[in-house]
Amino acid sequence: MGTEKIDSSQFFIISLLYTLGSAIIFIPHIVIKHAQQNAWIASLLALVIGLLPLFLYFKINQRFPNDTFIQILEATFGTIGGKVVGFITIIGFHLNLTVMTFRDFGDFVFIHLLPETPLHVILILLVIVVAYAVKEGLEVIARAGQILVPIAIFFFLLSAVLLLKNSDFKNLLPIFNNGWKPVVRAALPNIGFPFLEAFALIILFPFVTPKEKRSKSMFWGIVIGGLMVAIAVIYSLIVFGVEYSSAKIYVPYLLGAEINIANVIQRIEVIIASIWIVSIFIKICILFLTTVMGIQQLFNSSNYRIYVLPLALLVIPLSIMVMPNMSYWSIIENIWPFYAALFAVFLPVVVLIVGSFKRKKGKQT
Amino acid sequence: MIYIMTLIMAGIVLYIDKKTLRRINAQERKVYLTLVLFFIIFNIIEQKKLYVNYFVPVEWVYNKIPVMKNIYSFLENKG
């Protein structure tokens, strides 16, 4: 497992930035599109429901406090079964999510910041930085998070204060005008993205000390991250209203363009985008790290760092292949919560049920 | 040209990582080289845009995992 350790405050920051990740910039558009002015309720509902699977992960952590993810699966499904389930999970969830998040970042930079630059170049530059960070290890990524999180939160609060002048709280009314169904419908993609994605953090549990504070730090990191996403939804509504927010994909980024201080400080959306760039960088690093750790645990290798460069190579074509164009987002946003639930809800439930049967059987014999 | 560029990229990474390749054991080297082989295969598929006609992962999940299509149509009907 190695000697790397992070403390609970670092794990809290990782969980927070991981939850913010790409959700802070994508979710407002998706939720507002379905629930209109009730999107903020949908976002809070998604936060409440999205926290429930965490208790499954905490229970697994309680039962297997020192085991790696693959060891947990091997203890549940046997050596070969555990490896097979582990392989499917690492490829189907961790690697899949890594390449999708890479693509999110690439698309955003390509559309808004560097439209003349080929997508491949943007992805190659990103993969170099991420591979370097992951080669340095979990501790370094956690320390980078510790340095970057105050900057991200400062810009978040600054933009929240500066945007109050342009806001109209009447955009949040009327509440439940179309009943509760659109709210539940809108909450579904938000549950899958980002709350079910927290499943990937299970791999990091053995590296967090002290053991007793793992659950608490992850829980509060995800709660605060989820609340920040909900605040981004509320601001998108009160500044732009329903029509504009449901038409534009990167609404929170466009919020930055609305800030105008005495006609001197304006067009600061790139500074606002830095919040997102910080969070998605940490999210990509963590996903990449969990994927290489998963591969290392699958093949009982001595160190995960040896697989960083070949996986960095592989991620580039895969992130282009994962969806040929942005129109595939409509499929992803609808099926992702259910696809993710196969790994993030169904698998932990099976692990816990089989684990308790085995324990009962062990006690009887 | 695509084949040559792909091999050059793989060669550059192998050259940069030559110390790691020397240090690791045979099984680890197998996994390492398999990942590089996957890169060569997927990069050629991606550069030639073969996946657009034959295999898009999102479409595969949508078509092959049994209930996904039903879930998608249900949600689309619900707006």
pLDDT digits (tens, 9 = 90+) for A119-141: 999 999 999 999 999 999 999 99
pLDDT at A2: 57
Q: Is the pLDDT of residue A218 over 70?
A: yes
Q: Distance between CA A223 and CA A225 in Å, rounded? A: 5
CB-based contact, A328 to chain B, within 8 Å: yes
Is the pTM value of this prediction over 0.90?
yes
- pLDDT exceeds 70 at position A69: yes
Q: 3-state class of B24 per DSSP?
A: coil
Partners of residue A260 on adjacent β-strands: A266
Cis status, amide bond into A210, omega within 30 of 0: yes
CB-side neighbour CA atoms (13 Å) of A7: 3
A263 against A20, higher pLDDT: A20
Predicted pLDDT at A45: 94
The reply to whether residue A332 touches residue B42, judged by beta carbons under 8 angstroms, is no
B76: part of which helix (H) or strand (E)?
helix B68-77
Q: Which 3 state secondary structure label does DSSP give A68?
A: coil
pLDDT interval class at B78 (50, 70, 90):
low
Chain B, window 18-57: residues with a beta carbon less than 8 angstroms from a chain A beta carbon = 20, 24-25, 27-28, 31-33, 35-36, 38-39, 42-43, 45-47, 51-52, 55-57
Q: Determine phi and psi for A175, rounding to 5 degrees.
A: -85, 140
Report the distance separating Cα A142 and Cα A139, nearest Å.
Answer: 5
At residue A15, does pLDDT exceed 70?
yes
Look up residue A169 and give its DSSP letter.
Answer: G
**One-letter amino acid identity for A23?**
A
Most confident of A18-27, A180-189, A216-225: A216-225
Region B15-43: mean pLDDT is 91
- The pLDDT confidence band at residue A359, using thresholds 50, 70 and 90, is confident
The interface pTM score, or ipTM, of the predicted complex is 0.86
Taking residues A337-362, what's their average pLDDT? 90
Report yes or no: A287 and A319 within 8 Å, Cβ to Cβ. Answer: no
Among chain A residues, the shortest Cα distance to B21 is held by: A306
End-to-end CA distance of chain B: 46
Reference A347, options A136, A124, A94, A99; nearest CA is A94
| Contacting residues of B for A306, CB less than 8 Å apart | 20, 24, 28, 32
Structure-model confidence comparison of residues A265 and A124, the more confident one: A124
pLDDT band (50, 70, 90) for residue A308: very high
The pLDDT score that the predictor gives to residue A233 is: 92
pLDDT, one tens digit per residue, over A33-47 is 888 889 999 999 999
Asked if A36 contacts A242 with a C-beta cutoff of 8 angstroms, the reply is yes
pLDDT number for residue A9 = 93
CA gap A36, A181 in Å, rounded: 12
- Here the tokens at position A274 are 């830095």
Cross-strand pairs, A209: A7
Q: What is the mean pLDDT of chain A?
A: 89
The pLDDT value given to residue B66: 67
With CA atoms as reference, report the closest residue to A334 among B11, B38, B78: B78
Percent of chain A with pLDDT over 90: 50
Q: Which residue has the higher pLDDT, B39 or B48?
A: B39
Burial of A124 (0-12, 13-18, 19+ CB in 10 A): middle
- Helices vs strands, H then E, count in chain A: 16, 4
CB contact under 8 A, B58 and A332: yes
A299 contacts on B by Cβ (under 8 Å): 27-28, 31
Spell out which residues of chain B touch residue A317, defining contact as CB-CB under 8 Å: 39, 42-43, 45-47
Task: Return the residue in B9, B20, B36, B69 with the most chain A beta carbons within 10 A, the one to mutate for interface testing.
Answer: B20
Read off the tokens for A135. Answer: 């080669």
The arithmetic mean of pLDDT across residues A162-169, rounded, is: 86
pLDDT of residue A1: 52
> Residue B29 class from Cβ within 10 Å (0-12 exposed, 13-18 middle, 19+ buried)?
middle
Read off the pLDDT band of A11 (50, 70, 90).
very high
Least confident of A216-220, A222-226, A288-292, A321-325: A321-325
d(CA B61, CA A251): 28
Q: Residue B58 pLDDT > 80, yes or no?
A: no
Q: Which pLDDT does position B59 carry in this prediction?
A: 72
Chain B residue with minimum CA distance to A295: B31
Choose the weakest-confidence range: A315-329, A346-360, B43-57, B61-75: B61-75
Element (H, E) at B63: helix B57-64
Distance CA A209, CA A5 (A): 7
Instruction: For residue A323, give the nearest of B13, B35, B56 by CB distance.
Output: B56
Q: Which whole number is the average pLDDT over B23-29?
A: 91
Q: How confident is the model at residue A350 (pLDDT cuts 50, 70, 90)?
A: very high
pLDDT, average across residues A160-186: 86
Output the furthest CA–CA distance in chain A (Å, rounded): 78
Mean pLDDT of A113-123: 91
